[in-house]
Amino acid sequence: MVHNGRTNDPDKRTLRRELLAVRNRLTADDVREAAAALAVRALGLPELARARTVAAYVSVGSEPGTLALLDALRARGVRVLLPVLLPDNDLDWGLYGGEGSLARVQHGGRMALFEPAGERLGPEAVTAADAVLLPGLAVDARGMRLGRGGGSYDRVLARLERAGADPALVVLLYDAEVVERVPEEAHDRPVHAVVTPSGVRRFG
> Residue 187: which pLDDT band, with cuts at 50, 70 and 90?
confident
Query: Can you give the pLDDT at residue 2?
Result: 33
Query: Can you give the pLDDT at residue 3?
Result: 40
Query: Can you give the pLDDT at residue 23?
Result: 95
Query: Can you give the pLDDT at residue 5?
Result: 41
Cβ(188)–Cβ(4) under 8 Å? no
Region 70-90: mean pLDDT is 95
Quick check: 137 pLDDT over 50? yes
Query: Can you give the pLDDT at residue 9?
Result: 75
Quick check: 28 pLDDT over 90? yes
> Residue 8: which pLDDT band, with cuts at 50, 70 and 90?
low
In the CATH hierarchy, which fold is given to the domain comprising 6-202? Answer: Rossmann fold (3.40.50)
Query: Can you give the pLDDT at residue 6?
Result: 46
